[in-house]
Structure 1
């Protein structure tokens, strides 16, 4: 398997390239519009054909590159079921798999940051968690139909039940971290764990914590959400 972690510095967004070099098929997860040329250049240099662009969710902090990449390559745009993005080619559900050559990508429902969020388990040994589980953190739950109780349920039941050695690759990082493991996050993630006792927080404690964060709105939310509901097509100025 060929695996690359790519970074957009303006929005601290990670994009992931997953490919089978023998079949020469590739998928991009959470591409960023401003980085389309970078991503295409890499794909062409590696002699790959882009088969899928997968979204973990409808983003509020950046505009997706999926629409542009689909226009340039003919790839399929894939979004989670229930996502408000009728332009997508396919709506993927929990437990559904996609094949990129010999590589299996499994969708795992991780709702809570939004009401239509998927993580993607790749090759059985790593999970791309989008904005659900971050390294020593998690995505916010105070807009886009976010629900802290649902996030707690899905992270603890769908992600924390994966093998401890499973690699965790998040959708963002703001402190320079690139990768973690499920075992690390079950022990050291302060959103989900009481670090004084080392025990998992209760659902009620997690909800109270998330509801007290009082974070500012993402800078691009007014532009990004409607654009991403159109697979990255930015509305023309009136």
Structure 2
């Protein structure tokens, strides 16, 4: 089966491509660096010719409200039109658990627009809602740092390792479309500030962590249920300690 992975050279994309190739599928890693651009349309028709499945893992390079919206709206519309012309049978997109709960976040609003475009396209689809990746912990720390203190919400998170994300994306890509949402999550639910304390300790970082219910998470105030799922998510197997022990971000 021919599978096109948009964003196929990124963290999740490159791992997913390797995983699916090992299963014997023909995989095209579509990205500007490989001559496929979903914003300009360059190379899109050629990449999708004969494809049965498209996995959209592309991400905006900016979290700024306007830039993120323009990216997901333009990319989504171009991709859906090209898929319809190519006769693609299954569109998969990676999105975020909580995308509909955090309207104060411009990035989340942009992802919600992307999802709406998919649902209205008429192409059979599966949207994968994931919790935050463990690999993004460093960025979360930086976003909340002021001086030598990290200000973070005490809301619950349930981070997932990228390898677990890849396993789930590959499974969805080789299954029938559900025209709905699959949710995936890490194995441990923990408060964000407490997880970052563990992360900084493991890193040997002496910054202090302050639990602040008013602290913003990329522009949005969090509640306990904002970033976790109680809808029977598929749970990953890799714990924080296991991920950190093999992480190249140490």
TM range (shorter): 0.3 to 0.5
Q: Which has the higher helix share?
A: 2
User: Larger Cα Rg: Structure 1 or Structure 2?
Assistant: 2
The TM-score with structure 1 as length reference comes to 0.34
